[in-house]
Each structure stands twice: as C-alpha cells, then as structure tokens.
Amino acid sequence: MNSPFLTLVSEKMYLKRYAKRTVQTYCYWIKAFINFNNKQHPVTCHDAEVELFLSFLANQKQVTPKTQALVLNALVFLYREVLQTPLTLELNFNKTSIQPKLPVVLTHEEVTSLLSNISAAVSLPCKLLYGSGLRLMEVVRLRVQDIDFDYLSLQIWHGKGGKHRRVTLAKELIEPLKKQIAVASSYYQQDKDNADYRGVWLPYALAKKYPSAPMEFNWHYLFPAQKLSIDPESKYLRRHHIGEQKIQRTIRAVSKRLGFVKDVTCHTLRHSFATHLLQSGADIRTVQEQLGHSDLRTTQIYTHVLQQGANSVCSPLDKLKLSETNR
C-alpha cells in the first residue's frame, strides 16, 4: 500500500482483528472518499463531506444499499478509530433506492448437470458450495480439523461478520474428503522437509498462543495451493490455500458451455442450497443457522422460488380450467 495514511488505517484494522478482505475493502472506499474531496486529508473533512460522498454514491454511482452501508461503516471506523473525531449519529444523506437483486437459483436437474461436468480439480469445493451452503471463501479456507466425520458436519470459523457456525456435511462427500485430506497430507510431509518452511498461517494471535500449531497438520488448509509462497505480512515461507479465481472461472465456463440462461456464480450454489432446503420442508430458522445469517429477513428472500410461488402462495389461476382458444 503506497499511501502512508492508508497503511496506518490498515494497521489499525489489523490490530482490531479485522479480516484481510475487510481491510482491503475499507481502504478502497476511504481512498475513494479522499479522491472525491480533491485529495484533501480526511482530518480536514467531517460530517458534511461524508454526507455529500454518500449522496454521490446513491445519486450518481447508484450503488446498492448494501454497498452504501459498507462505505458508511468504513468512514465511521476512519473517524472514530483513526482520527478520533466520531461522525454524528444523525448524518443526512440520500439513501440509495436501488433494490437488491433476487438470488439466482438452479433447479435440482441444473445442479446435477453442473456438478457432473465440473473438472475433478475443483469438483469437491463446488460440491461443498452446494452441499453445505458455504460461501466461496469459507470453502477455500477450510482446515483439516474443521471436518467432523463423526457428526457429519463442518466447522466454519470467522465467517462473514466474524461468526462461527456448524453446517451439515453430505454423506456422499465423506470419501472424497478423506482422499483430499490425504492429498493435503502429502504436501505437508513434503513441506516439513523444507528447512525454510514456517508452517501455515494462523489468524490473529493464535500463532502466539499455540506456537507449535503452525507446524501441526490439523491446522493446515484442506485445499492447499500447489506452490509455496512468501507470506506478505510475516515474510515467512508458507503454503496458502487454493485461489478462489479458478473455482469462479470454472463454474462460469461450465454453465456457459451447458447453455444455462441463468447467470451462474459460486454464490448461486449457496442460493440453491438454501432454496432446496426450504423446498424440502426445512424450517426457515434451521436454514438461517446453516447459512449464518444474523437477520431472518435475509433468509426469507429464498422463499420466492418455492414451487407454490412467492411466499408459498398458490396462484388462483391454477384452479381454473381455461380452454386454449386464444392461439
């Protein structure tokens, strides 16, 4: 990061245990705020400039409500934690009116077709996206010890919002997961013989609390990268997890090759997991817990694709017997 000020912001966030992606996102929007104000230092700006920037994002950039809220959170952090001049609680700005998109959901047949045509290299991660309703980063960040074969579940640590949860594991994936653990073990045995290898990266202060953990196999990633790399923070030689880009590209390419009209992404499999659970009769609270949603209203959006129609309402047209006379 070239800017000393943004470096200061990122360091402050890391000290408060913010996730790397959150740090990058906050710094991106703080930089955008600085550029919007003709590169004035934020210390010379405050409520009025923040209100203008948020209104600009809603009016000119037409960002989603979620993005606008994220930008507000970034600026609140900046002024409260870094500059120590908190913003007012009564900011007056134009809130974006753009409605969030409804989730794209695949049918059971489409999921079957998609997963059957995914290459072996990323087949298991894709099946976990659908089979356990995981977010993409939750899949690639899985560690060996997160797999609980006894209770057929996965432990998700520090998910979105820093929350932990336990999710279901499909029986069909037991053997593929055991084979993947064997693959990860072969990388681990190879790395142990490398004198420069410093073990796997651990979040926050765990490496200090458990000094031997970075070299223990159970802490290593379930889906290790093919090559060792230098940790940009510690400068240690480590083996990171696989990149998410390959999975993203594969799903898009396969869905396009199969002729899907729907815009299919990794998150589409998570949407399909939730909708299919509800369709099979699962309680919405259970689905909420599986997905890790804080607000039940976020989960309720999936009810729109149930077979009976929006919110399980059966259309009265289905009960009419109309003759097809208007051909």
Give me the CATH number covering residue 214: 1.10.443.10
Q: Which residues are catalytic?
A: 135, 160, 267, 270, 293, 302
Q: Do both 74 and 131 map to the same domain? A: no
Closest CA to 46 of 85, 92, 93, 6: 85
pLDDT in tens, 96-116: 877 767 889 999 999 999 999
pLDDT in tens, 212-250: 999 999 999 999 999 999 987 788 999 999 999 999 999
158 pLDDT band, cuts 50/70/90, is confident
Residue 280 covered by a domain: yes
Q: Do both 174 and 37 map to the same domain? A: no
Q: Residue 182 and residue 100: Cα distance in Å, rounded? A: 42
List all residues 6 or more positions away from 42 whose beta carbon is below 8 Å from its beta carbon.
5, 30, 33, 34, 78, 79, 83
Residue 151 tokens read as 């209770």
Residue 196 covered by a domain: yes
Q: Do both 178 and 259 map to the same domain? A: yes
Residue 267 covered by a domain: yes
Q: What is the mean pLDDT of the chain?
A: 90
Least confident piece of the model among 62-71, 127-136, 166-175: 62-71
pLDDT above 70 for 313: no
Contact 29, 69 (CB under 8 A): no
Q: Do both 131 and 254 map to the same domain? A: yes
Q: Do both 278 and 214 map to the same domain? A: yes
Question: How many distinct structural domains can be found in the chain?
Answer: 2
pLDDT score for 162: 78
Could you list the residue range(s) of the whole structural domain that residue 189 is in?
101-309
pLDDT above 80 for 326: no
Q: Do both 138 and 183 map to the same domain? A: yes
Q: Do both 207 and 271 map to the same domain? A: yes
Q: What is the CATH number of the domain that holds 58?
A: 1.10.150.130
Residue 91 covered by a domain: no
Residue 33 covered by a domain: yes
Residue 92 covered by a domain: no
pLDDT above 80 for 305: no
Q: Do both 61 and 164 map to the same domain? A: no
Euclidean distance between the first and the last CA atom of the chain, given in angstroms as a whole number: 65
Least confident piece of the model among 54-58, 96-100, 131-135: 96-100
Q: What is the mean pLDDT of residues 79-86?
A: 96
Q: Do both 109 and 48 map to the same domain? A: no
Burial of 246 (0-12, 13-18, 19+ CB in 10 A): middle
Residue 320 tokens read as 């009419």
Q: Residue 26 and residue 325: Cα distance in Å, rounded? A: 60
pLDDT score for 61: 92
Residue 303 covered by a domain: yes
pLDDT score for 306: 64
Contact 126, 173 (CB under 8 A): no
pLDDT score for 1: 55
